[in-house]
Amino acid sequence: MTNPTLLILPGDGIGPEVMAEVRRIIDWFGAKRGLAFDVTEDLVGGAAYDVHGVPLSDETMAKAQEVDAVLLGAVGGPQYDTLDFSLKPERGLLRLRKEMDLFANLRPAQCFDALADFSSLKPEVVAGLDIMIVRELTSGVYFGEPRGIFEEGNERVGINTQRYTESEIDRVARAAFELAKKRAGKVCSMEKANVMESGILWREVVQKVHDESYPEVELSHMYADAGGMQLCRWPKQFDVIVTDNLFGDLLSDVAAMLTGSLGMLPSASLGAPMANGRPKALYEPVHGSAPDIAGQGKANPCACILSFAMALRYSFDQGDEATRLEKAVETVLADGVRTADLMQAEGGAPASTRQMGDAVLAALD
């Protein structure tokens, strides 16, 4: 039996710092749970630009297409701000998403009880919260044609086009229903069918996929603006939310902040199944390269650690091991271990990135 393969792209800023902790956790699963991975590490973003003159080399792109899963830290930094658009670190990440055709972006919003009083909402509104937002990632208004700024009469007009085909809606709806089957069995689909034709089609196709293939899942539809309100009012009514690229961008950021810090938020981007049945997959924390704290050992590694937990669950069918890792993070938080981002202004000495990693490893043991 060959081991599953993992490509690690630490990237820039705090990326390598948080990824170093994940490497130790991957090693732990190999040593203690008999779950060994063949890990390769490579460059992305500014780190790749510094060496290769491009934010993602063709060789790295080819590797990403072959492995079972890619785990990415973060890209970007002020030293790259003046680069040509096509060479910017973010282009490396966008190329990965595009060429791997990662159409389903999974953003969990999960509130660890120990952090409930850290939310801007009342603790009882967020304690135990566990929602999954599935955002369509490769189509919609960020990609639709025509787009651009044009002359029209004696003024200019800026144009973007919301465009969705039935098959694009169908595949992301299926991803959402599959997830719901493994969770609380509910999907809420959000669009604006009241004012957008693409929303009417979205609603029809999601309903059809449900009726034909997932009748056992409970499906509801909501206008996306009402959905935003409901997320802030009573988020625990939701299990899986599926929505388009633009609304998903906004709603996933809203949902994320229900739970506290950027330093706690993982994500997964999934594509079509490969020959071995596993989906093409990229896992990454939601946060960026945090240049303001990079190189100081202050970064919270939990978002990246929890991204690896998602990889265990969605790429490697190791749901129990994923839960084991999530529980370890929960234990550490319950014990009061806090990196600086998880502390109120006057809180005592924060844990370093390494100390947080140590604590998670100790909890796993």
Binding residues for Mg(2+), by number, are 225, 249, 253
**What's the rounded Cα separation, in Å, for the pair 287 and 251?**
16
CB 115 within 8 A of CB 263: no
Judged by beta carbon distances under 5 to 8 A according to partner kind, the member of Mg ion, ligand NAI, none in contact with residue 299 is ligand NAI
**What's the rounded Cα separation, in Å, for the pair 130 and 112?**
9
142 carries an active-site annotation? yes
Q: What would the two tokens of residue 344 be?
A: 């109120």
Looking at residues 248 to 287 of the shown chain, list those that interact with ligand NAI (rule: CB under 6 A). Answer: 262-263, 284, 287
- Options 142, 181, 208, 223, the catalytic residue: 142
Phi and psi at residue 143, in whole multiples of 5°?
Answer: -125, -20
Of 346, 171, 116, 342, the residue nearest 355 (C-alpha): 342
225 carries an active-site annotation? yes
Looking at residues 327 to 356 of the shown chain, list those that interact with ligand NAI (rule: CB under 6 A). Answer: 341
CA-to-CA separations, 358 to 66, 80, 191, 355, 365, in angstroms, rounded: 32, 33, 43, 5, 11
Binding residues with ligand NAI: total (CB under 6 A): 22
Nearest distance from C-beta of residue 358 to ligand NAI, angstroms: 16
- Options 181, 225, 236, 358, the catalytic residue: 225
Looking at residues 236 to 265 of the shown chain, list those that interact with Mg ion (rule: CB under 5 A). Answer: 249, 253
Cβ neighbours around 24 below 10 Å, total: 15
CA-to-CA separations, 266 to 50, 110, 287, 348, in angstroms, rounded: 27, 10, 8, 27
56 binds ligand NAI (CB under 6 A): no
290 binds ligand NAI (CB under 6 A): yes
Nearest distance from C-beta of residue 283 to ligand NAI, angstroms: 11
Report the Cα–Cα distance between both ends of the chain, in Å, rounded: 26
Burial of 234 (0-12, 13-18, 19+ CB in 10 A): exposed
Q: Which of 96/251 has CB closer to Mg ion?
A: 251
**What's the rounded Cα separation, in Å, for the pair 343 and 261?**
10
Nearest distance from C-beta of residue 312 to Mg ion, angstroms: 25
Annotated binding site for substrate: 97, 107, 135, 225
Judged by beta carbon distances under 5 to 8 A according to partner kind, the member of Mg ion, ligand NAI, none in contact with residue 290 is ligand NAI
Cα 186 to chain centroid distance, Å, stands at 20
50 binds ligand NAI (CB under 6 A): no
299 binds ligand NAI (CB under 6 A): yes
Q: Which of 18/328 has CB closer to ligand NAI?
A: 18
90 binds Mg ion (CB under 5 A): no
3-state secondary structure of 106: strand
Single residue of 77, 92, 227, 279 touching ligand NAI by CB under 6 A: 77
Catalytic residues: 142, 192, 225, 249, 253
**Contact set with Mg ion (CB under 5 A):** 249, 253
**Contact set with ligand NAI (CB under 6 A):** 14, 18, 74-77, 90, 93, 262-263, 284, 287-293, 299-300, 303, 341
